[in-house]
Chains A and B, each alone.
Chain A
Amino acid sequence: MTGNRITRREMVCLLGTSVLSGWPIAAFSGRSRQSAKGPSSGPFLQVALLPCPDYARETLATAIQAGWRSTRPPDVRGKRVVIKPNIVDVSSDRPIHTDPRLIEALILHLGGMGAREIVLAEGTSHNRDTEWLFRCSGYEALAKRQGVRLVDLNYDDISPVKSVNPRATLLKEISLPETIRTADVIISVPKMKTHKLAGITLSMKNMFGILPGIAYGWPKNTLHWNGIPLSICEINGTVKTHYSIVDGVIGMEGHGPIMGTARKAGVLVMGDNALAVDATAARVMGVDPARVDYLALAHKIRLGSLRREDIAVAGARIEQVRADFALDPEYAFLRIPRG
């Protein structure tokens, strides 16, 4: 590990090292549990981009149903479905976490689709005080109201799962919470945010939160030492996200994922391939996904595709809903020029 060099970006807040060269692409190819077929002559991935101007119950239900219909959702009938929101922290004046009203609408939708059991699960990254976070974010009350289990992944039972990357080092064996390991269906529901260390954070980055703090520390520092792009790809390559829904109704711009400011995008971005969903959400944010290092790596190792021509977007057109999120000056290079 001492050989890894620290990038200025990662030094900004977490003093981690980055592995920005020597991608083990060949090692990954074809092994991923999330892999999609390679470049083709036409779109082979489906993403729904749904206008969703507010968190009203009816608005959310309509958008979720429309997105579900126009993509390739998992069959949840009789299944145990784990919903992974993003609850990295809580603030009364900044939209840090996935809005619980969206999660509630999703729970109702999944119940209607015949899910046997629905579990809300998160392993918070910064603040170790999960009881307080779950209560103050509204998730404790939501879980009680809907009769679903709320699991703190940081302290769950864990067992080792071999990484999809045979050349992995720090994450050679991933300590995975039983709640995640035994899930039939995993749905990642992140907040649409900028990120001081990764550029943007969406569905794939949200999966950092499935790794338990008891094994990886807070703020999951081992993953930063492993390199953020590589960690994101090793986690997403090893653990399949069956569906993603990005909460872009109100996102966060600027110095995210905690200290940024609210930015309304008024959309949900949905689909079964996390990379395609993230690439589409990035474009909504005015970000070129190919310039986001972890998305570019995920594309190279075939966790899906970020190319526009590979993704059929149902619902709104990206240009119609594009809401350029203010970027940290260090990430200005991510911006897609208008016009």
Chain B
Amino acid sequence: MMNERLSRTADYIKAHQNPDGGWGYGRSRMSYVEPTGLCAMALHIGGDKAGANRGLGFLKSCQKDSGAIGIGPRYAEGSWMAYAALLAFHALGPGGTEEERLRNWILSFQDASGQFTKEDLAAAATLNRYDASIPGWSWTPRTTAWVEPTALFIIALIHAGVPATEKRIKSGVDLILDRRVPSGGWNFGNPYSKSNELAASMMSTALAMVALGAAGVAEDRPAIGAGMRFLDRSLAGDVSTASLAWILLAMKTYPSGADQVPGIASRLAGLQADNGGFRGNLFETALAFLVLSDAPILRPVSGRRG
């Protein structure tokens, strides 16, 4: 049951749907796949099936013959925003051919891991202290895999019913675990730069934790405990809207975060503007809506290991 605040958020999302059925990051801005996927799911939950289906139509218009989805309809090559389309396809009409084609494309998405020579891999291991041979997902095809796109695709695939035992997901989990910052948490994907340990960041850490939780990585793994402690410390300071939403989801994912959930939810809800939106950003607004409404498509799932 939606409360009055969430209902206003749904109204805000509805009011800013573009004529092409999609949403931009800002009001009246160009439609992109990521905000459209999340806004369509929010409208679906909010009861506006027609609006949600127009969003779905926009996403379908972005799909290529290969099944790929890029950032918008005019982009020939698929890329990272496809995660949001897969979530939306599954939430609004599970089992459709578009979903199946997209899922297959995501599972065949190639990063750069196969392109490195032995010398390259040795250099990465020495200087960056990670294993560049582990396949994950990159922002764009055939480039280096990073923590955040890998986490986003794992989250989407598992919510779309792909078992955590699937080899690409297992590999993605390995990549995330391999890229952790030794002192706790994750950044974009470089634990070290030569002899310098790089700092973790909130958004990367929260996304990594949600993905690892979805893939069934147990809480007693040191990386999880260290990540939770990093997020816990970070909450004492300034936190952005999107990071707060992902942190809330991370805390819902692992039992040790349960005590934090009410406080973070309240903090996130407190960022809502009078018009129902969050920062005037449709992606952040939809993400906050989905997390605060405990939407099934983003509800923590754990240990779907097939």
A contact set with B: CB distance below 8 Å: 1-2, 6, 8, 11-16, 91, 126-132, 135-136, 155, 157-158, 196, 213-219, 221-222, 224-225, 255, 258-259, 328
Contacts and interface: CB of A to CB of B under 8 A. Distances in A.
* 5 residue pairs, one from A and one from B, having the closest CB atoms: A217-B139, A131-B240, A157-B30, A132-B240, A259-B196
A328 B194 CA distance: 10
A10 to B, nearest CB: 10
B244 to A, nearest CB: 10
Interface of B (DSSP majority class): loop
A175 B204 CA distance: 25
Contacts of B128: 11-13, 15
B146 A1 contact: no
21 contacts: A6-B116, A11-B120, A13-B194, A14-B144, A14-B190, A15-B116, A128-B148, A129-B202, A129-B240, A129-B243, A130-B240, A132-B240, A135-B240, A155-B26, A157-B24, A221-B140, A224-B143, A224-B144, A225-B144, A255-B193, A328-B194
Contact of A221 (B24, B117, B139, B279): B139
B305 interface: no
A147 to B, nearest CB: 17
Nearest to A8: B123
Interface string B2-24: 00000000000000000000001
SS of A interface (majority): loop
Contacts of B117: 6
B37 to A, nearest CB: 13
B203 interface: yes
Given A2-B115, A13-B193, A217 B123 contact: no
A127 B188 contact: yes
A196 B144 contact: no
Given A15-B116, A214-B81, A221 B138 contact: yes
Given A128-B203, A214-B71, A217-B139, 9 more contacts: A1-B115, A6-B120, A12-B193, A15-B112, A15-B144, A131-B279, A214-B34, A255-B193, A258-B198
Contacts of B132: 15
B29 interface: yes
Contacts of B123: 6, 8, 11-12
Nearest to B117: A6
Contacts of B127: 11-13
Nearest to A254: B196
Given A13-B190, A157-B29, A218 B238 contact: no
Contacts of A214: 32, 34, 71, 81
B148 to A, nearest CB: 7
A207 to B, nearest CB: 19
Given A15-B112, A15-B144, A127-B201, A218 B188 contact: yes
Which of A91, A214, A216 has the largest count of B CB atoms less than 10 A from its CB?
A214
Given A15-B124, A132-B243, A255-B196, A126 B187 contact: yes
Contacts of B32: 214
Interface of B: 24-26, 29-30, 32, 34, 71, 79-81, 112, 115-117, 120, 123-124, 127-128, 132, 138-140, 142-144, 146, 148-149, 187-188, 190, 193-194, 196, 198-199, 201-204, 238-243, 279, 283
Contacts of A130: 240
A218 B139 contact: yes
Given A11-B124, A15-B116, A259-B196, A129 B143 contact: no
Contacts of A221: 138-140, 143-144, 146
Nearest to A196: B193
Contacts of A328: 194
A13 B193 CA distance: 6
B198 A129 contact: no
Contacts of B202: 129, 132
A136 B144 contact: no
B182 to A, nearest CB: 15
A8 B124 CA distance: 9
Contacts of B139: 213, 216-218, 221-222
Contacts of B71: 214-215
A1 B117 CA distance: 14
Given A13-B128, A255-B193, A259-B193, A132 B239 contact: yes
B138 A129 contact: no
A16 B148 CA distance: 18
A16 B241 contact: no
Nearest to A219: B188
B62 to A, nearest CB: 13
Contacts of B196: 255, 259
A157 B140 CA distance: 18
A158 B25 CA distance: 12
Contact of A217 (B140, B199, B203, B242): B140
B136 to A, nearest CB: 12
Contacts of B193: 12-13, 196, 255, 258-259
Contact of B80 (A2, A14, A157, A217): A217
A158 B132 CA distance: 31
A219 B193 CA distance: 14
Contacts of A157: 24, 29-30
Contacts of A158: 30
A126 B188 contact: yes
B194 A129 contact: no
B27 to A, nearest CB: 12
A8 B34 CA distance: 35
